[in-house]
Amino acid sequence: MTSTGQDSTTNRQRRSRHNPHSPSHNSSVISKRGVKKGAVPRSSPSLAEVKKKGRMKKLSQAAEQDLIMGLQELDLNLEPKALSGTGLVFEEQLNEFHCLWDDSFPECPERLHAIKEQLTQEGLLDRCISFQARSAKKEELMLVHSLEYIDLMETTQYMNEAELRILANTYDSVYLHPNSYTCACLASGSVLRLVDAVLGAKVRNGMAVIRPPGHHAQHNLMDGYCMFNHVAVAARYAQQKHDIQRVLIVDWDVHHGQGTQFTFDQDPSVLYFSIHRYEHGQFWPHLKASNWSATGFGRGQGYNINVPWNQVGMRDADYIAAFLRILLPVALEFQPQLVLVAAGYDALQGDPKGKMAATPAGFAQLTHMLMGLAGGKLILSLEGGYNYRSLAEGVSASLHTLLGDPCPMLESPGAPCLSARTSISCTLVALKPFWEVLMQSAETLEEDCVEKDKEEGPWEPPVPQIMAWPMLCARTGLIYDRRMMNHYNLWDNHHPEMPQRISRIMCHLEGLGLTERCLTLPARPATDAELLTCHRWGWNHLTAHQCSSHASSAEYIARLRATENMKTRELHREGANFDSIYICPSTFTCAQLATGAVCRLVEAVLAGEVLNGTAVVRPPGHHAEWDAACGFCFFNSVAVAARHAQAISGHALRILIVDWDIHHGNGTQHIFEDDPSVLYMSLHRYDHGTFFPMGNEGASSQIGQAPGVGFTVNVAWNGPRMGDPDYLAAWHRLVLPIAYEFNPELVLVSAGFDAAQGDPLGGCQVSPEGYAHLTHLLMGLANGRIILILEGGYNLTSISESMAACTRTLLGDPPPLLGPLRPPLSGALASISETVHVHRRYWRSLRIRKVEDKEEEPSNSGLVTKKEPQPANPGSAKGMARPEENILEAGMGKATSASPVEESIPGQAKSEIATVELAKDKSLEKAPDSQTPEEKLLGEAAGGQDLDDSKLMGFGDTDEATFYAVTPLPWCPHLTAVCPIPAAGLDVTQPCQDCGSLQENWVCLSCYQVCCGRYINAHMIQHHEDLGHPLVLSFVDLSTWCYHCQAYVHHQALLDVKNLAHQNKFGEDMPRPH
């Protein structure tokens, strides 16, 4: 007897989830369907065999039950209890120094006064665990600094003002006070106090609100307001005292922490990441070592990461993109045991030095991302920040996040700007030889979309955001009702979608004490009105013939309700009318209850009753179509919940649905495919259309229908064995960039756990820890309003452990440490890349280009010190910064900030971009215009010469022009639009049909009309927008451009038309590559 009885007579053509043609990964694989048409029937067992099997099964069930009861009596949960609490060091004594000769010096006691006032006002001081500051000992400071230097600083306690000023002037951008040494020792000791507390398991994380800052201080050198390098000392201290092997230092101060970099640039045990204003060396500290090309030396090469910002006004989206594309992937490969942050807040909007546009909410996001590393062992150490209000709000936002409060929504997250994408790309190129996760890049060099000109307008400061932190009675809601176990298969009690799925999950949650930490909510059945919001007449999707042949939604609901009174044989027959479905008398009630339970949880989250939630429900829902059950699913719970959320909020709430079930959620996709208010993102096994639900519905090319085009995103895995590295790569490169750009107000997760290790259907290898990390990263969105809804998952142990890991994370526990991660599979990267190619025209956050930046030497005339220059006034004590001095010069005993070693040059191996230096020919000189080099590089009319399958493009305005070889796509899905060449052939001298121009003309390969390119009158662009024809051929260099893919294409199907154009242009056939 099969799991579902007779073969389906439905007109749907979907097949079983079990594909006999896919690679066999598990001999116990169970299909969603039983016997299909044409299958060889199994012979019936004898009566004796049946009785024997029944006795053995009964005995095994009894033994299993005894084992479970025995285990429940034991405390086998050997996992350490999750730490709680945030440590805070705030010492008033640190305000007992200031600049004696310049009352306007930016680094002043008022900074800490403003912070204390803000923290007191928001009640944060009382919520933290306070630690008394202590002074760092000399031997602790000597872990980074020389004894001679420390002794010199110690003598400053006994100097008068004149002596202090003379000594201070031998350094760059510092002042000295008799209390400077004492306070600097106290500041370093404060960070060490938190290191002991975090690594000693007294608190989960912490923050040191200290001054003076420290990240510019070097081995024997004061620099940039800094005397001792607090985070560097703390890193060495953690290694020496606590036997920590790997430390990550993140420096988000707007100034590069050159002191920290020089301390560790030959040390592979410390990974240093700095994101800072650089402006091609024009911004302090004016060092080439601050550029992306400085990756470290010797064994430390690759462990120094610089992301240099080359313009002001950088926003939250730029910082988030750098974290997602660079820091998080590398950090997960590095696997730090402790994370230290040089937390300067001078990149916030309004800071007089940084002139950036980041917001406190943006820094909350960065803090949240870092909390997923090192088991949550995270310490922030205050560095810069000189606008008192923004500084105080930035510290407050980070502290809220450390305490577990949800990240505020970003007002206008948008996408990273072109300059940011260029900087990120350059850093990726420099790091690629050193990190496996970056070696197999998912993207190739591509063209920016035509919309780029719109995003690069004049920068305008955003309106300051007023942040509100929700006050919640409970953090995580949990909904479950054992009545949902009444849905079961009458004919096959080994069917994978069994009642024990939810009972085992709840048993595991109770055993770990997680249910006690959640607010348990009562389930309720969904109303017909709620069900009809999704299971209704599909006018937008059906033809007239289809409409006439389908039952209305009300009839579908009535049809399912009628099964409550059917006999067994009728139920069997009715189930066979759908794909991979069984029905029992309680099915309708259970499906109605599962959907209503999710709606109840949505109500609790939107009302602020809870922050987030978990719905342990069955039957699952994401396969259910508007008018048909499918794949174990009857009502589409997540879709109904989304519509319910929009209904009770009173507007088209922006909702992100992430579906990580191993099977594509065809029903959810169809319900929302024309709705831009719901972004549906699915990661699933596709296997080139042979994995359930079969066909092309889950292909990456499925992007939605107008006006919802671009709001359906499919990552289609084409094989088994996908694991944590593959899903995390998809999160970093695709899911989160799009999600932040979409900026949802609610996140719903179709949380199927059949991609987990050991699942009999999925064949994949995602761990419970991996699911915890995916959940944690999603929690930064939507003000933390996220709900996980159980879908599939058929290994009872796997789903129980995975749901528990996700629930812990929702409750605020840090994600557990991941084991050593292999690089993402090449097949996984190919799938991610395919989706990126499809969607980069709709989402600017995906347009990271592999383009190398041309390093520029800082010009002496543009150098300024970290301090603002003062007006020249011989009679004034101000004017400490002298603009006429070059701070990189060492003279008259003046200390230099330059690196003691030469700059690192990254290896050339594995670079995907060929850079060719050519002597600049006078014939290439052009009059200056307003376009940036990046703008000249990109676009369908980029020019250059056709070199085999590549295209060389150059940046001008330099003594030596840099050319970039662009590798075109070897294939694109729009080649079918190429039509046969007209009988009249081609005429490459033909003018533009609209303006008569003879320059930079292109021919459409669909209709063979000739129009000019974008740098003439852009008539070919207009032609594409009017008619939608995708592929065009350049009469200048015979390159082919696809507007839909936003990329050059070189394929066999294009050779005939290219060859004909070559004959017409040069009088001979096009040379073929050997």
Residues annotated as part of the active site = 216, 623
Q: Which helix (H) or strand (E) holds 162?
A: helix 161-168
With CA atoms as reference, report the closest residue to 89 among 243, 220, 196.
196
Contact 236, 338 (CB under 8 A): no
Contact 8, 578 (CB under 8 A): yes
Distance CA 183, CA 163 (A): 19
Distance CA 280, CA 311 (A): 9
Distance CA 273, CA 252 (A): 8
Beta bridge partners of 1042: 1031, 1047
Contact 39, 71 (CB under 8 A): no
Joined tokens for residue 243: 């036997």
With CA atoms as reference, report the closest residue to 952 among 896, 1009, 914, 999.
914
End-to-end CA distance of the chain: 60
Task: For CA atoms 134, 136, 140, 143, give the dihedral sign.
Answer: positive
Beta bridge partners of 969: 1049
984 CB burial (10 A radius; 0-12, 13-18, 19+):
exposed
Distance CA 1019, CA 1016 (A): 8
Joined tokens for residue 725: 């590295």
Distance CA 276, CA 384 (A): 12
Task: Give the three-class secondary structure for 514.
Answer: helix
Distance CA 272, CA 296 (A): 10
Contact 407, 780 (CB under 8 A): yes
Distance CA 727, CA 773 (A): 10
Distance CA 59, CA 766 (A): 33
Task: Give the three-class secondary structure for 265.
Answer: coil
Q: Which residue type sits at 232?
A: A
Task: Give the three-class secondary structure for 901.
Answer: coil
477 φ/ψ angles, rounded to the nearest 5 degrees: -90, 145
Beta bridge partners of 946: 951
Which runs of consecutive H residues, i.e. helices, occur in 659-816? 666-672, 724-730, 736-742, 768-778, 796-810
Per-residue b/e over 355-367, b at no fewer than 16 CB within 10 Å?
A: bbbbbbbbbbbbb
Distance CA 596, CA 574 (A): 24
Distance CA 151, CA 148 (A): 5
Joined tokens for residue 505: 């999950």
Joined tokens for residue 500: 């024990």
CA distances from 960 to 241, 279, 1074 (A): 52, 21, 32
CA distances from 393 to 109, 463, 993 (A): 17, 15, 58
Distance CA 254, CA 130 (A): 28
Joined tokens for residue 763: 């064949």
Distance CA 18, CA 2 (A): 14
Per-residue b/e over 1026-1062, b at no fewer than 16 CB within 10 Å?
A: eeebbbbbbbbbbbbbbbbbbbbbbbeebeebbbbbb
Beta bridge partners of 657: 680, 748
